[in-house]
Amino acid sequence: MRDIKFRAWIPQYKKMFQVGNLVIPKGLNEMGDQELCVSESYSITKPHHYIQPVLMQYTGLKDSTKWEQLTIAKQKKWIDSGRTQEEWEGVEIYEGDILKFCYYYDRGQWGENKSFTKVIKWDDLYCGFRPMCGTGEYEMPRRYYEVIGNIYEHGDLLEG
């Protein structure tokens, strides 16, 4: 069974974080809407809650990023979280992530590898998360893609 977890984007603060708590307060707010609150902390001791976040669900998949490809800061963060280098299996892929696909079997005019950039979204027909593009679908082995950003912090990667 895969982990069920979320990360949240807080637009007013331009902040992204792993969700520790999801809270649905009883009743409606002053506008008559049901609110959703999230916090980074698993603690019940007054964590700071963010109201109306954009939630992104973990797909259960990881990309092909090798340990050696991580920055020193990312390696340190991983180790500081109590995990070992041997436990590294790639970057977790969330809804809203931007993936770069490399087609090693499809060479361009000058022999270079072709690559495409796609966003991970939920597909009702497929009943799962998948890279979405305008006209086609891509079923690629994990060794051919990597997370290069997300639509909230790195939307410029989709331009052009």
In a domain, 1, yes or no: no
Q: Residues 96, 33: one domain?
A: no
Looking at the structure, do residues 18 and 48 belong to the same domain, yes or no? yes
pLDDT of residue 139: 55
What's the pTM? 0.76
Is the pLDDT confidence value at 156 over 90? no
**Residue 138: predicted pLDDT:** 52
Question: Model confidence at 99, in pLDDT bands (50, 70, 90)?
Answer: confident
User: Domain span at residue 106?
Assistant: 61-158
Q: Are residues 76 and 136 located together in one domain of the fold?
A: yes
More confidently predicted of 117 and 16: 16
List the one residue out of 108, 106, 111, 112 whose CA is nearest residue 140: 106
pLDDT tens for each residue of 1-42: 678 899 999 888 888 988 888 877 777 767 666 677 787 766
Q: Tell me if 27 is assigned to some domain.
A: yes
The answer on 26 and 84 residing in a single domain is no
Residue 65 in domain: yes
Check whether residue 96 and residue 128 sit in a common domain.
yes
Q: Tell me how many domains the chain contains.
A: 2
CA pair distance 23, 5, nearest whole angstrom: 14
Q: Is residue 110 part of a domain?
A: yes
